[in-house]
Amino acid sequence: MIQRQGYHYRLKTTPALRRSFAQYAGACRFVWNKVLAVNEGRYLAGVPRLSYYEAAWLLTRWRLSEEYGWLADVSIHALQHGLRDLERAYQHLFSGRTMPPRFRKKFLSDSFRFPRDFQLDGHRLKLPKIGWMRFGKSREIEGAIKNVTIRRDGKHWAVAFQTERAVDTPVHPSTSAIGIDLGIATFAALSDGTLYPPLNASRRLQAKLAKAQQRAARKVKFSKNWQKCQTVIRRIQATIAHCRKDFLHKLSTTISKNHAVIVVEDLQIGNMSRSAKGTVEAPGSQVAQKSGMNKAILDQGWGMFRRMLEYKQCWRGGVVLAVNPRYTSQTCPSCGCVSKLNRPQQALFSCIDCGYTSHADVNAAQNILALGYRERLNACPPR
């Protein structure tokens, strides 16, 4: 099988390198926004959007023009790969996977990618029109490097190598199966009774972030002091993201190593975290409470946790099954009674029919595992 893996390292930059990175990120952002604006205008006019090849042809004309000739200072491969990312965003939109692509802002997701013409020599990397740079090579890179991505990471810059290599089809060392119920009070409850508390990375640094944002609001926008405050804000936000990713990586690795089959909930996180404001004609109710709930949901990183489980299980030869979580927290595993009265408290499950009691989240995880077994049997009935 073909195993794809990414390797991330922090770059050792100089002022000249940081200026070059900012130039490349700005040029890729400009091309993305320019083509996106053209496509939106064509949509309003009833004209089909530009394909990748048409946008690439237009990019060549821009690089040769007097108005946008400064784009020629940036490698064409980085700009073209940005157009490929935009084309991929449209494909995801048409398949119903994501929302429409949005205009990019400075300092938010600043990145650019090279699919070719780069050189790697130990802990040194050479990029077209930028030159050599060093990075902290904390581990060896395995496989053939397909592309190199440079991105802003708080106040630092980082490099990511995407690799591919052929490996033997793995066989998971374990034979056990587990069901996982995700929540806010308890991040993950396993069907074997194990409970993992949430990290709540955003909540831990919420006061510090709010204070930094208040300082920035009192500064003149785009002034030197305002830019310094924005640097502090980005540093805090990067810390939150790093803490969350570290927590999810460690937990997903532990679960993936010990269980061959993992059954999770097929959560519609976008619907769960949708705003309750409503409209002027039909305003929503309990908007503040729903806003706090939405923030808590997004702070957990459920979608990222599921993606980590899926690719780590693929690497180890395991499988991840997603089931509909409807009524899993209200169903009694002993008698099958389904009622919202079965959950009188947040952490308590007590069946009103047979009297069975258990931890509410563990009970839901057991129902999720049983549902996964049933769906698997229905998909692959015995001969």
168 included as an active-site residue: no
Distance, CA of 136 to CA of 10 (rounded, Å): 6
E strands in the chain: 2-12, 111-114, 119-121, 124-127, 131-135, 144-153, 156-166, 177-182, 188-190, 195-196, 261-265, 319-323, 348-350, 357-359
Angle at 155 between CA 8 and CA 16, to 5 degrees: 90
223 to 18, 217, 229: CA distances (angstroms): 20, 12, 10
Catalytic residue of the set 87, 110, 153, 181: 181
The pair of structure tokens assigned to 123 is 């802990």
- With helix as H, strand as E and coil as C, how does 297-323 read? HHHHCHHHHHHHHHHHHHHHCCEEEEE
Angle at 293 between CA 242 and CA 189, to 5 degrees: 65
181 included as an active-site residue: yes
CB-count burial class (<10 Å; 0-12, 13-18, 19+) for 311: middle
Q: Go through the chain and tell me how many residues it has.
A: 383
Q: What one-character-per-residue DSSP string does 141-172 give?
A: --SEEEEEEEEEETTEEEEEEEEEEE-PPP--
**Residues 176 and 21 sit within 8 Å (Cβ to Cβ):** no
**Residues 76 and 42 sit within 8 Å (Cβ to Cβ):** no
Catalytic residue of the set 265, 266, 310, 353: 265
The pair of structure tokens assigned to 143 is 């496989």
Quickly tell me which residue has 């001969």 as its tokens. Answer: 383
265 included as an active-site residue: yes
DSSP 8-state assignment for residue 116: S
Q: What one-character-per-residue DSSP string does 326-366 give?
A: TTTTTB-TTT--B-GGG-SBTTEEE-TTT--EEEHHHHHHH
Distance, CA of 307 to CA of 301 (rounded, Å): 10
Catalytic residues: 181, 265, 361
